[in-house]
Structure 1
Amino acid sequence: MRTPRRRIAVALAIVLTLAAAPVLTGCVGQVEGVIENVTGGEVDLGGQSVPEDFPADVPITDGDVVYGVSAGSADGKVWNVTVSVADATALDTIKLELEDAGFTTRLEGPANADGGTLAADSAAYGVLVAVTNGTDGFVANYTVTANPA
């Protein structure tokens, strides 16, 4: 069993990697190796595509994939995908897509013209979506985790 300190270290390593990955695209192989050593799991810094093992049960709204990454192992996996969207109203569409796929919305952050957030889950997965207005336009960022069995 992992200790709380180990779980925090693993989660922190994943979050820091996800945040730094777009900047470090030239060093993908090295970054993947470091994360795999820290987490004991597999990492796929896929770049501008949805990771190959992204759960088919989680719908991703239409748009160009800006970035995709997955990290973890059978003990715990996280996927992160960022997609270009037209504007902040994409969050409404994403919510409907998730609900149509059997997800229940658990939390909705305040939405405005610059974006918003929502959290949804199903029996198998938890999904956090943030729609933001960045320097290159609006994006929807999906963070997906597998729920414990």
Structure 2
Amino acid sequence: MTTLRTRVAAPIALALAVAIAPALTGCFGNPVESIIEGATGGQVDLGGTTLPDGYPEAEVPIIDGEIVFGGSIGDASGAIYNVTVKVSGESAIDDIKAQLEGAGFTTQVGGDTTGGATYIGNTDAWGVLVVVSDSGDNGWVANYTVTATSGQ
């Protein structure tokens, strides 16, 4: 599989897994991981309520809060991580931005949106997209998507 195809397929597979995983949990297990692994040829961790295995916490800090989802796709050389954390509200983006910039991230894009806020930043090793939004019954959440840069 080409690198471009893998880079496109992996985020799509992760997004699909995030969307349908809650419907497939139960006593019989979750077949989504094996389906996605077969489609992408990579490792998948649909996680749960902790940081996924291998998440680079020392390099890409996560705001304090209850983790409502943590998952990853790929292996250590090219994993994509997705983590959702409950936050106090839209203003959490300011703390997230300060925390990431304190860890060496350079802001590429950021700002308020209708009903939320976004942050996109990078270091030589990592790229991060954070979306803070009102998630209805879950309250406000910050969703982090973390990818290794080509320089890693």
Same fold by TM (over 0.5)? Answer: yes
Instruction: Give me the whole-angstrom Cα distance separating, in 1, the residues matched to 2:7 and 2:14.
Output: 11
Residues 13-32 of structure 1 aligned to structure 2 (within 5 Å): 13-26=13-26, 29-32=30-33
Q: Distance in 1 between matches of 2:104 and 2:73?
A: 24
For the aligned residue pairs, the C-alpha RMSD in angstroms reads 2.0
Q: Does 1:133 align with 2:112?
A: no
The C-alpha deviation readout for 1:2-33, integer Å capped at 9, x for no partner, is 07556534442222112222333336541111
Alpha-carbon distance in structure 2 between the residues aligned to 1:46 and 1:10? 16
Q: 1:62-116: CA deviations, max 9, x gaps? A: 100000000013552100000000111100000000000000110014346x321
Q: 1:44 maps to what in 2?
A: 45
CA separation in 1, counterparts of 2:66 and 2:134? 15
SS of corresponding position for 1:20 = helix
State the alpha-carbon separation in 1 of the partners of residues 7 and 122 from structure 2: 22
- Counterpart in the other structure of 1:77: 79
**Aligned partners of 1:19, 1:9: CA distance in 2, in Å?**
15
Instruction: Number of aligned residue pairs: give it.
Output: 148
Separation in structure 2 between the aligned mates of residue 148 and residue 55 of structure 1, nearest angstrom: 16
Identify the residue that residue 54 of structure 2 maps to in structure 1: 53
For residues 146 and 7 of structure 1, the distance between their equivalents in structure 2, rounded to whole angstroms, comes to 11
Aligned counterparts, 1:40-119, within 5 A:
40-56=41-57, 57-74=59-76, 76-111=78-113, 114-119=115-120
TM-score (structure 2 length as normaliser):
0.87
After TM superposition, the score normalised by the length of structure 1 is 0.88
Letter in 2 for 1:78: I
**Structure 1 residue matching 2:50: 3-state secondary structure:** coil
Runs of 4+ in 1 over 4 A off after TM superposition: 3-7
Identity over aligned pairs, percent: 49
Determine the C-alpha separation between the residues in 2 that align with 1:72 and 1:104.
Answer: 25
Cα distance, 1:50 vs. partner?
A: 0.7
5+ residue gaps, structure 1, are: none
